[in-house]
Structure 1
Amino acid sequence: MTTGLIVGRFMPPHAGHMLLAGTARALVDHLVLAMIVGPEDAISPADRAAWMAELFPQAELVQVHAAPSGTDHWWEPMRAQLGRRIDLVFAGDGEALALASALGARYVQLDPEHQTLPISGAEILADLMGNWRFLPAPVRERFARTICLHGPESTGKSTLAPQLAAHFDTCWLPEYGRTYCETFGLALTMADLLAIGRTHAAMTRAAKRLSSGRLILDTDPLMTAAWADMLFERSDPWFDHFDETADLYLLLDIDMPWVDDGTRFFGDEGRRRRFFECSRHQLEKRGLPYVLIGGPAEERLARSIEAIAAAGL
């Protein structure tokens, strides 16, 4: 049985690692991925290990500690930690040649000039958005930036979300609560709201993997929590513990006409104002970044784009 080895920090794993591991896996019976970890890593070993396990489920992941700085024979501690025979060492640069020699293994260098995939982990961390195309789905989920439209019904969220997605050339996630109500009716219970919140959160995680770096959300579980406040004057503890919040919230003002579309509840001025304050309270009690977007419907897109740019997103 032949055993291959790839050494890297995988911080984060990217398309270059996919090419390297995919090639190696086809040439050996067993592939070992040696992930170097150190005390000053920008991404935790646990996160990287989870990504690697999902991306390369047939490979064996071994964590090895980085050699002290200034160590001439940096491969010696790695050889001791591996503790097994290695037949082939795969790499994209020449540093692993010494390791292959020390292990008595054959060195296989692939795409040394990065001609197939011109990228490195350091370049990705320096410019995530500029190098987004090189990130695999699990890493995208971690680094995608989310902009959430927040606020009561009939404030233009469902119109604005696809407009923002088109502007940023990305996908958007519709309000799952609307879909739920159209399917099951308006006689909502707390269990229904919990199902809506959990499903929307799960859809958000999945959609991040498909985004182009930004994901536009037409509401999120915090808005469902505001619904709970309005309907029941309380919410399930799940909402209090929800921490997958957006990078920026655009709180849409109620200074536009309320329109009854068959799935809306609170059209009178008093309850509409209360709903707006409940929505804002969900953001402020958590200290989340938000920008109030008001004015005519036709101006809200430009104001939202300006707010997103000002937030550095």
Structure 2
Amino acid sequence: MSGPDRRRAEFRHGMVVGKFYPPHAGHHALIEAAAARCAAVTVVVAPSRRESIPLAERVGWLREAHAGTPWVRVVGRYDDHPVDYADPAVWDLHCAVFADALGGVPVDAVFSSEAYGAELARRFGAVPVCVDPERRTVPVSGTAVRADPAAHWRWLSPAVRAWLVRRVVVVGAESTGTTTMAAALAGHYGTGWVPEYGRELTARKLAELRRGRPGATVFDVVWDRADFAEVVREQQAAEDAAARASGPLLFCDTDARATAIWEERYLGSSSAAVRAAARRPALYLLTDHVGVPFDDDGLRDGEHLRAWMTGRFRAELAGCGVPVVELHGAHEARLATAVAACDALLAAGWFFADPLLPA
């Protein structure tokens, strides 16, 4: 969207105020409406400290979403004052927070979708501009998103989705179906999944070996600490990128905690750097090796270690503070168990602390 002619814009400086808890398409439409009619716009993000999403996150999300409109400035201030639209003294407290965020720059238009917009504009000596108060153009609200993020996922920006997405990590010993399970779950839920970078690196290292030694096999591949640091770095980068386009669940074939076990398997111990990179997903799915034939596809070398690795995964995951569901039996039974666990994860919903509400 191109910017308004600053000499001919309807308003010199517009203000938008909100909690943006979290930002959604309705908020973006409001800001875009202000940007279309103002030479400059200040968006004031003003939540209370009791809310669950940090102020800095919200400011960052809005700046990213409106980076294409450089005349829109996003600033944040915490506003812990009570909410009472009938009390002039309380209005004074809130307006002082907003005025501080404006930095002394006067406004001549206040854009809002809320009933309080007219009084807010009056107190700043500005014109009130009401935008879609009945939420007909963009039928969503922050209250609705907090109550059921999954149902309102389409109204959220990539950055907000990435923050809210529930990450489900599938781990297990070699040739126990982690990739098959991650892909199957992504297909079931119509969302994305993150392949295992370590397998890609193995294939690349083997291909490099074969340039000089055509007969080289995966048993000739040599690993070092830097390789596992690379696996963690690239795996997490791919996971974070996928989270921005994912549905409410994102399925990951391995993670840093699993990489530490692979590092231990090849080098005898895991490094502090790899262990420190471990995150806290919403759920681990552990694929058991029992009853799963070993598929020697040329990139696998640990059939004799599968039982040991399964035991290591059990021990490692038991103390990580993340729910773990083990998958046993044929693929169909494993998938059914995994789907039930993921459905329960979605049914549990998301927790948001209540915002400050009118007295």
| TM-score where L is the length of structure 1 | 0.93
Q: How far is the alpha carbon of 1:291 from its aligned partner?
A: 0.7
2:198 is equivalent to residue 188 of structure 1? no
Q: Distance in 2 between the 1:56 and 1:237 partners?
A: 39
Give unmatched runs, 5+ long, in structure 2.
1-5, 7-11, 207-220, 348-359
> In the alignment, is residue 70 of structure 1 matched against residue 92 of structure 2?
no
Q: Confirm whether residue 280 of structure 1 aligns to residue 301 of structure 2.
A: no
Contact 1:151 1:280 in 2 (8 A): no
Question: How far apart are the structure 2 equivalents of 1:312 and 1:113?
Answer: 29
Tell me, what secondary structure is at the counterpart of 1:130?
A: helix
Give the equivalent residue in structure 1 for 2:259. 224
Match of 2:289 in 1: 254
Amino acid at match of 2:81: A
Q: What is the rounded CA distance, in whole Å, between the counterparts of 2:173 and 2:40 in structure 1?
A: 55
* Matches of 1:246 and 1:127, distance apart in 2: 20
Matches within 5 A, 1:73-84: 73=88, 74-77=90-93, 78-79=95-96, 80-81=99-100, 82=102, 83-84=104-105
User: What fraction of aligned residue pairs are identical, expressed as a percent?
Assistant: 33
Shift of 1:38: 1.7
1:208 aligns with 2:243: yes
| 2:146 paired with 1:133 | no
Aligned residue identity for 2:13: T
Q: State the Cα distance separating 1:39 from its structure 2 match.
A: 3.1
1:118 aligned onto 2:139: yes
* Aligned residues of 2:167 and 2:250 also touching (Cα < 8 A): yes
Question: 2: CA distance between counterparts of 1:106 and 1:100?
Answer: 6
Secondary structure at 2:258's aligned position in 1? helix
- Aligned-CA RMSD value: 1.8
39-48 or 23-32: bigger deviation: 39-48
Verify: 1:27 aligned to 2:37, yes or no.
yes
Match of 1:10 in 2: 20
Runs of 4+ in 1 over 4 A off after TM superposition: none
Letter in 1 for 2:24: H
- The unaligned stretches of length 5 or more in structure 1 are none
Task: Show the counterpart of 1:197.
Answer: 232
What's the counterpart of residue 37 of structure 1? 47
Matched residue SS, 1:291: strand
Q: Secondary structure at the match of 1:155?
A: coil
Match of 1:293 in 2: 327
Question: For 1:263, which of 299, 307, 311 is the aligned residue?
Answer: 299
User: How far does residue 75 in structure 1 lie from its aligned partner after superposition?
Assistant: 4.1
Given candidates 171, 176, 192, the residue that maps to 2:192 is 171
Inter-partner Cα distance in structure 2 for 1:253 and 1:237: 27
CA distance in 1, matches of 2:134, 2:345: 37
For 2:175 and 2:39, locate their aligned partners in 1 and report how far apart those are by CA, in whole Å.
59
Q: Partner residue of 1:48?
A: 58
Kindly provide the amino acid, as one letter, of the partner of residue 297 in structure 1.
H
Seen in structure 2, the aligned counterparts of structure 1 residues 8 and 86 have a Cα distance that, compared at 3 Å, is same
Q: What TM-score, normalized to structure 2?
A: 0.82
> Given residue 314 of structure 2, which amino acid in structure 1 is its aligned partner?
R
Give the structure 1 partner of residue 353 of structure 2: none
Deviation string 1:57-108 (CA, Å, 9 cap, x unpaired) is: 4332333424333362354332542332002111112211111112121221
